[in-house]
């Protein structure tokens, strides 16, 4: 009977070790899966960072172009104002001459 009890204890230990091995295997698989997922996320993050950088560069360039165009519009409006003043002066002179 004692030999049987020892056998039962040994078998219980083996079952416990087997369960632990299985848990270790499951944990190892989970670590591998999470590591792969982390690498994928890192790659996606780098790709997204490059996209953000490109969009930021485009935005800066667009802002610079907008500032340049705004300055050109202001300059053109100034020229138009000067030309309108000259036109009005010419009209007054012509009107005085014809009177």
The model's pLDDT over 13-68, given as tens digits with 9 standing for 90+, comes to 676 667 777 887 888 899 999 999 999 999 999 999 999 999 999 999 999 999 99
The helix or strand, by DSSP H or E, that contains position 31, with its residue range, turns out to be helix 2-98
Question: What's the pLDDT at 9?
Answer: 66
At 5, the pLDDT band (50, 70, 90 cuts) reads confident
The torsion of the CA quartet 64, 68, 70, 74, rounded to 10 degrees, works out to 160
Any residues with CB less than 8 A from the CB of 74 and at least 6 apart, and which? none
């Amino acid at each position: 009977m004692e030999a049987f009890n020892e056998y039962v204890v040994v078998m219980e230990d083996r079952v416990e070790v087997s369960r632990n091995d299985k848990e270790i295997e499951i944990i190892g698989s989970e670590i591998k899966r999470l590591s792969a997922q982390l690498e994928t996320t890192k790659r996606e993050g780098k790709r997204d960072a490059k996209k953000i950088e490109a969009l930021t560069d485009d935005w800066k360039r667009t802002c610079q172009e907008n500032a340049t165009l705004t300055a050109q519009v202001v300059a053109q409006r100034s020229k138009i104002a000067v030309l309108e003043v000259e036109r009005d002066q010419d009209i007054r002179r012509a009107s005085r001459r014809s009177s």
